[in-house]
Chain A
Amino acid sequence: MKSLTASLLAVPPFGAGLPTSPKPPAVGLPLQQPSFPACCQPFAQQAAFCFSLLMFATMAIAAEPISIHSPGFPPSALDAEGRLVEDWGSVGVTLSGDGVADGPTTLQAIKLDNLVPAAQATTNRGAVRLIRTAFRAPAFPSGVDVLTVRLEEARGRPAEVTLGLDLPAKSVFGLRTVRLGGRVILTLTDESLDNRPQRDWGYCDEATSLPGWAKPAVECDPAFRNIRAGMGGVPILYRFAVEPKSAANVVLGLCESHWAEAGQRPLSCRVEGAAAQTVDAVGKWGQHKPGALIFAGRDENGDGKLEVVVRPAAGAKDRNPILNAIWIFPAGESPNLQRLISGALRGAALRYVDVGGENDQSIYPPGKLEYDIKLAQGGAHELTFFVACPGSSAPTPDTSTWTAVTLRRAAHDVWRDWPKK
């Protein structure tokens, strides 16, 4: 129960007070912090980060890291291997494929648009030339680093390579973001969404896992204690690999533990191929009472994925959808919902997901983001990522309008008008 208490303390009271303007979960800093007093933490973190940069610079005499910054903010650095070093760790680029070879990296400080300081690392990798360019964009309140990875075909014939981003092992991959301890450390831009390998099932949304959030008042499957929540109206989305066009019975489990009265958090639940169901968990089963909905699902579009989505129902006062559990059974096999709720059918299901709990997972594999890239003769391909810099989180696509173009323009405008001493 200790971890349950800790997890409850780590997140804001769900839906409390402001049902129509929910606060997002606390983000911005990793959960594991050194035990400085609260008032000193920002300084301590910056000092530690600057010290680590200094140590790094001292050790890597052969190729000094090149720092990037925006006026008035602590720097990040591109190191001798072309890794972007931040206060949370670093991000590097891996390459594999036919004709890809090792090669030395050259590092240089450049000015984008003759104005914006940037760092660029270039490596000849046999079949391709790899160029990483990073600059600090002055996005309010603390900035964000923009990392562009460019691949250029180098041998005069088409090339196929796999490009990966090497991130800390505990990174969690969402649809558009990579998080570390709740902090968004990387955002994928529109052009960086395609060609990513996927597991055969998992969530692919920007919802938040809240283990131990629910408090079922009866003996039941342990999955009813945990949820994922779409803070601010974000839909909860799961995909399961299935035979194209195949059918399955899908059961969604819900347990509402914040609202005592009905009508607060009606949910719209949709399983691909089945009619959508709107449910008000408190109205249907009561507060702290587990309940289940069954759907006759089918891979309707034939893409080999069965999709499950939970959204806030139209007019919901609390716009944060929740989901506790998913069971998938063969088509035609109708489970006894009482037994399912009690936990007796976990082993009988084709797939059982403790949503927000221990066996839950992102559909994207951890540790690496990978892209399969085909380059035409003499062709090039660019991917851009927004990377959390010291003291910041990367912008979340749900609320942000930043693009690589607008961030670069912002950097240009700030450097243009910043007084030169």
Chain B
Amino acid sequence: MRRRKFQIMGIYAGAILVVLVMGFPLYWMVKTSIEPPTTLFSPPYSYFPTTFSIENYRLLLFETYFLTFLKNSLIVGFFCTLITAVVSTLAGYGLTRFEFRGKKLIARGTLFSYMFPELMLGIPLYIIFDSLGLRNSYVGLVLAHASIGIPLGTWTMWQYFQIVPKSFEEAAWISGASRMKTLRQVVLPIAAPGIIAVSTFAFAFSWNDYTYAKIFQDDILMFTITTGINSFVERTAVHWGLIQAGSTLVTIPTLIIIIFLQKQLIESMAIGALK
């Protein structure tokens, strides 16, 4: 019995230590962001917030392009998610419901494209986009982000449709429904959890991307949140207050997602690994 107690205490001590070490950078980010910008460059700092100020946030929202960055990230993220979800769902359906040659090739192709170095796509795409006038456009960035999401999405939906039994569809056909109708009313509702998982990580990829946004966009009005927040690091001055405030704002939606979708997150990670 005593041994069991020790074990539980050990787990708590370990968990507290882990939370402190892992949580401190986040705590420090928030703490920095809610203090007046003047205290930033006058160490030593106190470890707890002493004076509260929303000045960093006011500057961020009204004196910088932060809202434009946010808008760009949301637009690109939305279309990347849409394309990835539609294309992957169709592919997953086709790959499990029809017989044709070359399935193995497609499987290998999708797995192989997991390995593509970002720069190996970034360099040729930069040249191609440059000549097509797609740099500093939403289209180029959406396509580049979709190239990360689609292989994984296809793979995930392929696996997922294998679990969805064909018998439901066959029952619908027998009762006279067309394939299109079956697809809409029988298959899609069953496949919904898979589609949600694919959409989540398609959006996460796009939201997370820095490399492609950095390579393709050099007009500050086309920056995304990642390249945008990083633009507060200037040659002459680093605006730490703005950076920490921007980072905090980016963290909030993520935090909400984790709290509400923790279980699904763990499960969807088990289906298809996030990058």
**Do A and B bind?**
no
Residues of B bordering A, CB below 8 Å:
none
Q: Give A residues with C-beta under 8 Å from B.
A: none
